[in-house]
Structure 1
């Protein structure tokens, strides 16, 4: 090859190039930004429109639906969802991640502009904002201690100012702090005494609290700025503000009101481990390095800690950089451990000099990859690092083949330079082809759409970069190093080794019995598939690890005040005391919703909401899995009354939603409320369902004042005056601002609390009229209690109620399957023990069926015990066994379970169907319509439904009719969340696998100029499935849609390489005149060691990730637990077992299949054209190339 020839003849240039690669690669690695997970751009555009005082129903029709109508049809939109609450419309537009955020924002802005003309005139201007996930907090800092709230707030303000000035920090938000205000509480009796009204005073305060610039006054030689600085300087000035004079006596504000320099009413509480705290949330600028900014923030906190009282303490409760450091360090340890293991294997089989030459390809290839990763603008995250682990063992494959062939030429007597040129040139194209087949397998995954694609795209890109880098190093650097440092020609290895003798015996059995070999392999694959279906762990979407954080989400009924919600939160804190040994922090926020977006300040607020965040100890420090602790915590707080409590684990990986997400969609909200409640009861009955919640919210209890407009107008009062006066009295109104140093405080007016606790207090309020007199509120109208809908949610222009739930103790996919059966339009016909209302009656009725064949119960008896020729008619149980089961006076639990199983078996048999048995006057309409169709026209689902109805008809007081959600016309149930993402991922990975196989076949056809040989080689992909399923069974792992799917696609590109080497050399031997069986046998024996070695290095490289054990090169200790293993173990196990089985079976099955198809080809008259016409050169031609 010209590239190799030129490299060997220009060794100095290659040496300089190597030095440049080392420098650039090392620099890139050090400067690469670190992230725990990739930064996924998800273009969410939010449209918020405020319309105060309007009900949710009116908001929906007058604002939300108008904007949604214009937004519908925008290109690139994934979903439009909205919430209409009192006084506010919130619309979320989710775009495809491929749509640039600025384009998405402009498209939404254009459509909203078109809708503005149809919105109510008094509605506020819609606010359009992009939700940028890159601006979410990277650190949460809590300030707590035995100091006054005032001092705590002052220190928090100072620290906030310093942090906001720190380079790279975008913003710092504060939560849990108390806000100062000057509150004026008027006494109605004293106002009446001085004949003053509140509006008079409200207009006076702003006119006295002013700072007016009156321009400039020019005098000879000087110009003065003229100002009237009349702002209040101290709270006492407000107290002594003169309002009027009565009989020559001044009346001050203090005479009619109590002036309080106090705090605003609490809308939230924050605690850290039970102590009151203020929390600072720090966000970084887009593109800034989170690790570097974190170090700067910690330096600021450390300096601040020295300057504050010793009783005050700073605690960092969330630090993204720690997670980044831990993840990167964990994967770095795995990479180094794998590198050492691979090198040891090479030393064991190759000897020190050739193994050193081969091993040098690993650091050089990785340094090139680091440089390319940085050039593409990527970060060093867990996906990139695992990709390097996966590719690490593959990097040496090319070097093994090239160096082996160079040493073979040294054995033939060539000098170092000539052997290096000839050896590398001879295998250049096969090496390139085998690398391309692996790249082709990963190539389709680069086009993975959606959020999951943006998350996983780094895997195929990094792998491809690493493989191409290894090809470049193998063709350029390895031959150059060999030409200088290969040493003497090695001695051939022992040809009569026991391992070779054992392999020959197995190989000969396969070659002389190819049909039997293939049949046994096929039986092994089918049998293993059946076994996995029976005892496998099921399927999962994304690996579920041991969470570092969890949140207890508390939702009390609408209208619950902040203090009652705080009482519930404190009760939960008390229940958490026994679990403190496993918790690092317990963070409580009352007044805002909890959520699994750990580290984020909750956006949803309300006095009825609270969240308790649980921070577990670091993964390597845990003495118990946090999942086990959460199970106990959930049980410990389950009986706390007064709120809906949900324990959620931290979401890991790309956002996908809850395992169970059910959307009930339609138009009438009361119907949706009824249907969603039915669905909620059915889902709650599914085993292992936890955290079940509906987003349907009743309205906050409302006290509405209805003014008598005619009377009010006669009394000189309009409705706006009444409304503003009530707002001032109950909620308070801002009348000015008081400045103290750099802080601003509101001056508010409000009635004392004792004058606004009952409805009668409000009726006594004196409302000023246009004549300046006071009119009692009771004469202007009446208060009424009412309710409604709190929030109206919509998805894609349809009203929706969403039910979400998690799974505990079972895979989410299994729980969802049960939920889907329960929510089937015909219901779930399967019986459970809860469906049997009277066990004694059931036993007696079945006994009657034993003797009375004409009775419907006799029909059931017959179906249970009759063995027929058809599959459906096979007996579920023998007559003797059933009679024995019914002989006892009472049923034991085991007998109940068995009888229910037998009846469920019978439900699936069409033999049970009998129209005459349906005499129940309450027969569902669907059943009555099915009866008229006849048995031959029924679907299996209808058979199951009718058979259950038959059981209910026979035993109306014994068997309960299944509860089901009967959907009226125009209503539907959709499954979203994890289910939606799983279906998308499954569909894409299936296509990607098919495309990958086609690309690999295309490369093989080009190399071999044959269809038969690529077909044989592709059988190794099928053989790899035997190992993949075996690995999942042995390790007790579920089939992960994402991780296992990617692992199988990876295998498709890796396992074919050994078959390429094997068949290429077989054809070479045939061209040299060797017979078919002899060529196949000799090729297998010759290539045994390199085939095992190339597969072994890949397997060895993944072992640290699969077992979770590695050496910590930062602390120089053994790490027996690995957090990243939770994510990647499935994929590592699939590749290890799949490649291992495929390699062993390839050495036997592939030669056997080649012999059989070659004979078939010869018999059909194709001769040996597939051998003669091939233009490929084998990767290795002669045995004994390896030094002992």
Structure 2
């Protein structure tokens, strides 16, 4: 029994099944997690190794190189990068997607254990860490309205505990502010006079600040614990400490050092709209819903504002807000698109009941899709919702074809039940094939590798789910509902349909086209060839980019003073930056973080609907306002990617890597390359990865001398570090608060080169040895960091772009480097950044498109049981590609990864109309000649073809207009589908019948020729 017969004969069963789908889909919708992008597993592992006091060159030679050579053989490794900085080594391992990172981590751990003994004594054990893309804070807060000390205490006592109690919050980390600290500032001359070391003072302080259990005693019949209470009660207890000397005397600590009860030295300063503040970063637990956790945090912040008067608590960054706005925009566009599709149905059908019957396919199919998404462990995000929005017009395509055929049967007098059965079964094969062709194009997408697969596989699954659901609804619910509720006027017979003006107009054009079929096909072929040549030689300009820019309303400003800048200098720089940009009307919140290295300024803009300029235009104004600050380097970057980076792939748009052995040569080449980049139009924020470090003091330990006095390198490094920077040696607990006790030399004795030379270390036999006898102390400079890729040194020159397409800029960059940058022997240049990602993704997607075309052809061949008719139908594909390219050019939209995904979808969509037309022509050809069948069938199929085309395209119009937050991401995809489908449909109505006529005639002649040969051979026998 056919499925249409079952649906008509068992209306209650079908109704209950549909209700079950609606119920399950509704429940699934409430439980689907919401996020910006699909969950992504990044195939990266990091190996961090600390080597205190070592220069970048020493770190590279003694730590980085051995680690690299050891792990380079691990299975699945695709790329190996490292950075050697002063005192630390970081090796980044990039694996092929699909690699089991747990196994890889175990393998690396085994390999590292074999070389630990060969690492220098001062190096810590290498730590292996995973890279978690979900580790970024979901919300950042700024707290202002008091001193840094008061604000930090309020945050620690009230705000942080409150936030960390929220279900789904992993941590709320505090940054900035000042905490109480006790300092023991030691007089070096007194140390030398009494032959006492800093280590002895530290040991005496620790020994005087001890508590512990002593055992138990019996008191009556009870056994009680005995505990010694020796911890400091308050700051005054430190004044009572005495330090034993080698001679057996005791020296009061107050004679050796000044004791100071104060606050930590300022290492960073935070500001909120020019007012000093502290920050809190909220991180969610891995499997928590970003939006729900963020909403709970917002609720708690609102409550704390009322509970803590006088303190300004602001949410300075909220990823969930962008997620909510983006998803809301996509949903809005989805609803508008659905309404437009229904309006088109009513215009064509002029029948309210028919429109309602078809319109029911949209919500039912969508709810069924949500059910399948839930069981497939997908989330509601820009990609999956964009997939549903892209497919909303297609959801009714199958239902249109089924209902239109049922309607036609009813109009010629067939009864309700029979019309529903016959009308549905007659087109069941065609719509099943058309659905399968659309689904088939996503199979290659699922097998795409790298990050692209993790982003777009969920969309492929979502669209597949929605189309299969719409097919199910079209073959079950639509026939059942049509048999009960469809009202038909008797003026809708085939003859009356064919007599409508637009159909008669089409029939006349088709008739003339068939009379000049070879001219028509020749013009088409010449046009297609010329168009392809025009694209190839850039006569027809097609711009390219990696990912569409998405206005997230955030701008990052990174600034630093040249030379060894202090925190005071950078604080002045931060105030200068703030004064220059605070009056820009689009700015909502300004936060900044100042330290001795640089200034980080974060600019949060007003919502997109409340400003006239986009984030890139505001960033350009900030760049112009801040570019002439004397002695400062300023980098301004707009956050324009859903991946969270400055550009489409989370990195810079343009990057050139120069590889070679010598650092000085690399730096020289890098500086030349940077100057060449800066001259290219649209280039912004050039940056060199390798640069000379600031002037510094180099302490080169004389190993022989150190060993003679019984010192190791580690002894010297740790002691001098304590003397200069201070070391936390104990804590004082007061009113439940732990206060660090820091030991160091007095500032007056640790801030000059002479005093550094005079720092005395005492050997085991009590001999005081100045540092100058154990090491050479000189002024110098080195490299701030050394980068390597696959065990080869390199320097990268990177830049962002402004108001120019990536593909165009990348071509110019490569031409300029080839012509003007003369590389010495042994040095090479490669290109990375978004351009490399774009080239890789485009290559994979072109391969996927070819596979999609092959799969579509195979599906059609199995449906028609013919290799010829699918060949005819495939003529729609080049037509659609031409239309898609024209659409991108006319709208000024660059071709991106999203646009290519739309083109792959287009391959499966555009053949649907031709399938239905060819299938109907074949049915009519059974009892009339070919030309009559074409002129009979094509006009009858015109209305459903126009209906399905217009519902699909108009449903995508809101997305194509890019209205709302995050809509830019789906815009290229929608433009490609709309323009490709419209262009191919217009020409398909002519080209496909013409090609069918030619090919079928050739087929018939070939068959007749074979028959003659066979008959001739039989006659001869």
TM-score normalised by L of structure 1: 0.80
For residues 728 and 623 of structure 1, the distance between their equivalents in structure 2, rounded to whole angstroms, comes to 55
For residues 1142 and 445 of structure 1, the distance between their equivalents in structure 2, rounded to whole angstroms, comes to 23
Give the superposition deviation at 1:195.
Answer: 7.8
Rate the CA distance shift 1:47–1:741 in 2: closer, same or farther, 3 A: farther
Give the equivalent residue in structure 1 for 2:837. 981
Give the equivalent residue in structure 2 for 1:582. 586
Give the equivalent residue in structure 2 for 1:747. 741
Give the equivalent residue in structure 2 for 1:1076. 930
Range with bigger deviation, 283-292 or 251-260: 251-260
Structure 2 residue 890 is matched with structure 1 residue 1048: no
Whether the 8 Å contact between 2:148 and 2:277 is mirrored in structure 1 is: no
Show the 5 A alignment for 1:730-809. Answer: 730-765=724-759, 767-768=761-762, 772=766, 782-809=776-803
Name the SS for the 1:540 alignment partner: coil
For residues 512 and 1027 of structure 1, the distance between their equivalents in structure 2, rounded to whole angstroms, comes to 26
Whether the 8 Å contact between 1:525 and 1:1025 is mirrored in structure 2 is: no
Give the superposition deviation at 1:392.
Answer: 0.9
Show the 5 A alignment for 1:328-367. Answer: 328-350=327-349, 351-367=351-367
Aligned CA RMSD, in angstroms, stands at: 2.7
Show the 5 A alignment for 1:185-334. Answer: 185-188=185-188, 198-243=198-243, 252-310=252-310, 312-334=311-333
Range with bigger deviation, 497-506 or 706-715: 706-715
Structure 2 residue 508 is matched with structure 1 residue 505: yes
1:886-925 per-position Cα deviation (integer Å, ceiling 9, x unaligned): xxxxxxxxxxxxxxxxxxxxxxxxxxxxxxxxxxxxxxxx
Range with bigger deviation, 20-29 or 714-723: 714-723
For residues 82 and 704 of structure 2, the distance between their equivalents in structure 1, rounded to whole angstroms, comes to 39
1:1139 to 942, 962, 981: 981
Name the SS for the 1:123 alignment partner: coil
Whether the 8 Å contact between 1:43 and 1:104 is mirrored in structure 2 is: no
Give the equivalent residue in structure 2 for 1:571. 576
Name the SS for the 2:794 alignment partner: strand
Give the equivalent residue in structure 1 for 2:427. 427
Whether the 8 Å contact between 1:793 and 1:800 is mirrored in structure 2 is: yes
Give the superposition deviation at 1:33.
Answer: 0.8
Whether the 8 Å contact between 1:716 and 1:771 is mirrored in structure 2 is: no
Rate the CA distance shift 1:778–1:1151 in 2: closer, same or farther, 3 A: closer
For residues 1134 and 722 of structure 1, the distance between their equivalents in structure 2, rounded to whole angstroms, comes to 67
Structure 2 residue 1006 is matched with structure 1 residue 1149: no
Whether the 8 Å contact between 2:21 and 2:364 is mirrored in structure 1 is: yes
Whether the 8 Å contact between 1:144 and 1:152 is mirrored in structure 2 is: no
Show the 5 A alignment for 1:848-997. Answer: 963-969=820-826, 971-997=827-853
Whether the 8 Å contact between 2:46 and 2:90 is mirrored in structure 1 is: yes
1:1095-1133 per-position Cα deviation (integer Å, ceiling 9, x unaligned): 11101110111124xxxxxxxxxxxx4123311221111
Range with bigger deviation, 93-102 or 328-337: 93-102
Range with bigger deviation, 88-97 or 1156-1165: 1156-1165
For residues 291 and 326 of structure 1, the distance between their equivalents in structure 2, rounded to whole angstroms, comes to 11
TM-score normalised by L of structure 2: 0.93
Rate the CA distance shift 1:187–1:335 in 2: closer, same or farther, 3 A: same
Structure 2 residue 643 is matched with structure 1 residue 615: no
Show the 5 A alignment for 1:1091-1170. Answer: 1091-1108=945-962, 1121-1166=963-1008
Give the superposition deviation at 1:476.
Answer: 1.1
Structure 2 residue 1002 is matched with structure 1 residue 1013: no
Give the superposition deviation at 1:683.
Answer: 2.0
Range with bigger deviation, 201-210 or 335-344: 201-210
Give the superposition deviation at 1:1031.
Answer: 1.3
Rate the CA distance shift 1:100–1:649 in 2: closer, same or farther, 3 A: farther
Give the superposition deviation at 1:639.
Answer: 1.7
Show the 5 A alignment for 1:620-699. Answer: 620-654=609-643, 655=649, 657-699=651-693
Whether the 8 Å contact between 2:806 and 2:835 is mirrored in structure 1 is: no
Give the equivalent residue in structure 1 for 2:480. 480
1:787-821 per-position Cα deviation (integer Å, ceiling 9, x unaligned): 22222211112112111111123112211111111
Name the SS for the 1:748 alignment partner: strand
Name the SS for the 2:793 alignment partner: strand
Whether the 8 Å contact between 1:989 and 1:1045 is mirrored in structure 2 is: yes
Range with bigger deviation, 148-157 or 325-334: 148-157
Rate the CA distance shift 1:151–1:614 in 2: closer, same or farther, 3 A: closer
1:78-111 per-position Cα deviation (integer Å, ceiling 9, x unaligned): 3211112222221111223322443333333233
Give the equivalent residue in structure 2 for 1:439. 439
1:1001 to 830, 844, 857: 857
* Matched length: 1000
Rate the CA distance shift 1:766–1:1091 in 2: closer, same or farther, 3 A: closer
1:125-145 per-position Cα deviation (integer Å, ceiling 9, x unaligned): 111111222232111111111
Range with bigger deviation, 255-264 or 425-434: 255-264
Show the 5 A alignment for 1:442-591. Answer: 442-488=442-488, 490-492=490-492, 493=496, 495-529=498-532, 533-534=538-539, 536-557=541-562, 559-579=564-584, 581-591=585-595
Show the 5 A alignment for 1:102-251. Answer: 102-147=102-147, 149-188=149-188, 198-243=198-243
Name the SS for the 1:697 alignment partner: coil
Name the SS for the 1:788 alignment partner: coil
For residues 397 and 965 of structure 1, the distance between their equivalents in structure 2, rounded to whole angstroms, comes to 59
Name the SS for the 1:789 alignment partner: coil
Give the equivalent residue in structure 2 for 1:600. none
Whether the 8 Å contact between 1:48 and 1:89 is mirrored in structure 2 is: yes
Give the equivalent residue in structure 2 for 1:833. none
For residues 149 and 549 of structure 2, the distance between their equivalents in structure 1, rounded to whole angstroms, comes to 41
Rate the CA distance shift 1:1020–1:191 in 2: closer, same or farther, 3 A: closer
For residues 1016 and 717 of structure 1, the distance between their equivalents in structure 2, rounded to whole angstroms, comes to 86
Whether the 8 Å contact between 1:1162 and 1:1168 is mirrored in structure 2 is: no
For residues 151 and 408 of structure 1, the distance between their equivalents in structure 2, rounded to whole angstroms, comes to 76
For residues 701 and 918 of structure 2, the distance between their equivalents in structure 1, rounded to whole angstroms, comes to 93
For residues 206 and 12 of structure 1, the distance between their equivalents in structure 2, rounded to whole angstroms, comes to 82
Rate the CA distance shift 1:147–1:307 in 2: closer, same or farther, 3 A: farther
Residue ranges of structure 2 left out of the alignment (5+ in a row): 644-648, 1012-1021
Whether the 8 Å contact between 2:956 and 2:978 is mirrored in structure 1 is: yes
Residue ranges of structure 1 left out of the alignment (5+ in a row): 592-606, 828-962, 1109-1120, 1170-1188
Whether the 8 Å contact between 1:1020 and 1:1059 is mirrored in structure 2 is: yes
For residues 405 and 523 of structure 2, the distance between their equivalents in structure 1, rounded to whole angstroms, comes to 35
For residues 708 and 51 of structure 1, the distance between their equivalents in structure 2, rounded to whole angstroms, comes to 18
Rate the CA distance shift 1:341–1:549 in 2: closer, same or farther, 3 A: same
Name the SS for the 1:355 alignment partner: helix
Rate the CA distance shift 1:426–1:659 in 2: closer, same or farther, 3 A: same
For residues 1010 and 348 of structure 2, the distance between their equivalents in structure 1, rounded to whole angstroms, comes to 36
Range with bigger deviation, 152-161 or 783-792: 152-161
Rate the CA distance shift 1:100–1:620 in 2: closer, same or farther, 3 A: farther
Give the superposition deviation at 1:621.
Answer: 1.5
Give the superposition deviation at 1:50.
Answer: 1.7
Give the superposition deviation at 1:1142.
Answer: 0.8
2:804 to 799, 810, 819: 810
For residues 751 and 51 of structure 2, the distance between their equivalents in structure 1, rounded to whole angstroms, comes to 28
Show the 5 A alignment for 1:72-111. Answer: 72-111=72-111
1:654-700 per-position Cα deviation (integer Å, ceiling 9, x unaligned): 43532211111122222322222232222222222111111103235
